[in-house]
Amino acid sequence: MSHFTPLPSLLGGIAIGAAAAVLLLSNGRVAGISGICAGMLGGEEGDSAWRWLFVGGLLVGGLAFGMVRPAAFQPGIVRSAGALALAGFLVGSGARLANGCTSGHGLCGLSRLSPRSFVAVGTFMATGALTVLVVSRFFGGAV
């Protein structure tokens, strides 16, 4: 493996887990990005400020890290705008069908031992593996 990075991966996992735990313990909210974004404009009265702050923190954190380590954001695989738009649409549709995204089910649901999240994460992983197989075998690794 040429891109094996155990220490940064461990530190990133700890940071993500800690952020999810702090949000759940302090605000009673699950750190599911699709749900957070969905409620930014159409949530309950007085419920959008923390959502905007959360997403803003993600963006500011990413921008700050990009300034410190710009090489970390160099794409390894280049895709067309159409392929990226289709992928985004499919991910968004899947998140709506699953009543949550990989962060909500994978980080928060699994840690709370939610049976629904175990099924959702298994489905996400199997679909991702199948997609890689199909794209690699039938499209030469490029779409």
Q: What are phi and psi of 58, to 5 degrees?
A: -60, -45
- Evaluate whether residue 68 is within a structural domain: yes
- Evaluate whether residue 1 is within a structural domain: no
- Evaluate whether residue 130 is within a structural domain: yes
Output Rg (C-alpha) for the chain, integer angstroms: 17
- Evaluate whether residue 107 is within a structural domain: yes
Residues in Cβ contact with 114 at an 8 Å cutoff, skipping those fewer than 6 apart: 105
Helix (H) or strand (E) holding 7: helix 6-27
Helix (H) or strand (E) holding 50: helix 49-68
pLDDT (tens, 9 = 90+) of the chain, 143 residues, equals: 467 788 988 998 899 889 888 988 988 888 888 888 888 887 777 788 889 998 999 999 999 999 999 888 887 777 778 888 888 888 888 888 888 888 888 888 888 899 999 999 999 899 889 988 888 888 776 66
Measure the CA–CA gap between 45 and 85, rounded to whole angstroms: 32
Would you state the structure tokens that stand for residue 33, as one six-digit string?
A: 């990005």
- Evaluate whether residue 47 is within a structural domain: yes
> By residue range, what is the domain housing residue 131?
6-138
- Evaluate whether residue 143 is within a structural domain: no
Total structural domains in the chain?
1
Query: pTM for the complete prediction?
Result: 0.74
* Chain position carrying tokens 């940071």: 15
